[in-house]
Amino acid sequence: MEKPLKILQVESSARKTDSVTRRLSQDLIGRLAANRPVNVVRRDVSPGLPVIDEAWVAANFTDPAERNGEQKARLALSDELVAELKEADILVIGAPVYNFGIPASLKAWVDLIARARETFRYTQSGPEGLLKGKKAYVVLASGGTEVGSQIDFASGYLRHILGFVGIDDVEMIAADRLMASADTAIAMAEAALDDMEERFKAAA
């Protein structure tokens, strides 16, 4: 029996209904699941995650063998998020563009998973990502921001931070400028998903 793909689905849209990123992310996962078995772990960060503070930073930079109970508790959620990411074969991030960037809740997730010695390490030649061999799909939606333009500070940031932790195989699916032409934007995103599905079938 074929081994199931482990998918981590990270959603960040403030909308629980009528969310374009949630719908397209689910569509993408459905297409993956149609071609081979999958196990999906869903992490909805939209209710908000704790922001890192001085105590968190101190705990993170303390040697794991020397952390006290309070420091371990400070890092417990981060440890859980990192473990989810390490376990995944495929990462699917739903990222609406808010005020030209990613939602604050998604930035908080990034801060909690970008950890030295866990997801990256420092070397003599610079930082090295430790999460190699994974595939990431980033599903973006915006009201007025053109994805890939000079005022888009979401897609480039996510591509960079994923590469920083070692995930270099990143594919973007964008439904942008929805306020100008929602039907066209969604149709283009769905066409991109159709193309992906053909590749999924060819690789199955």
Give yes or no for a contact between 191 and 197, defined as CB atoms under 8 angstroms apart. no
- The phi, psi pair for 38, rounded to 5°, reads -135, 150
Angle between helices 178-203 and 20-35 (to 10 degrees): 10
Could you give the angle at which helices 76-87 and 104-113 cross, rounded to 10 degrees? 80
- Nearest Cα neighbor of 167 from 156, 177, 179, 158 is 158
- DSSP alpha helix (H) spans, 39-152: 54-60, 69-74, 76-87, 104-113
Domains and CATH numbers, the chain: 5-203 (3.40.50.360)
What is the residue whose two structure tokens read 């969310």? Answer: 19
Distance CA 94, CA 187 (A): 17
DSSP strand pairing (169-175 vs 135-141) = parallel
Task: Please give the C-alpha separations between residue 34 and each of 22, 52, 121, 142, in angstroms, as whole numbers.
Answer: 18, 39, 37, 28
Total number of residues shown for the chain = 204
pLDDT tens digit at each of 204 positions of the chain:
678 999 999 999 999 999 999 999 999 999 999 988 999 999 999 999 999 999 999 999 999 999 999 999 999 999 999 999 999 999 999 999 999 999 999 999 999 999 999 999 999 999 999 999 999 999 999 999 999 999 999 999 999 999 999 999 999 999 999 999 999 999 999 999 999 888 888 876
Do the Cβ atoms of 140 and 96 come closer than 8 Å? yes
Q: Is 25 labelled a binding residue?
A: no
Which pTM value belongs to this model? Answer: 0.95
Secondary structure (3-state) at 8: strand
Three-class DSSP category at 87: helix
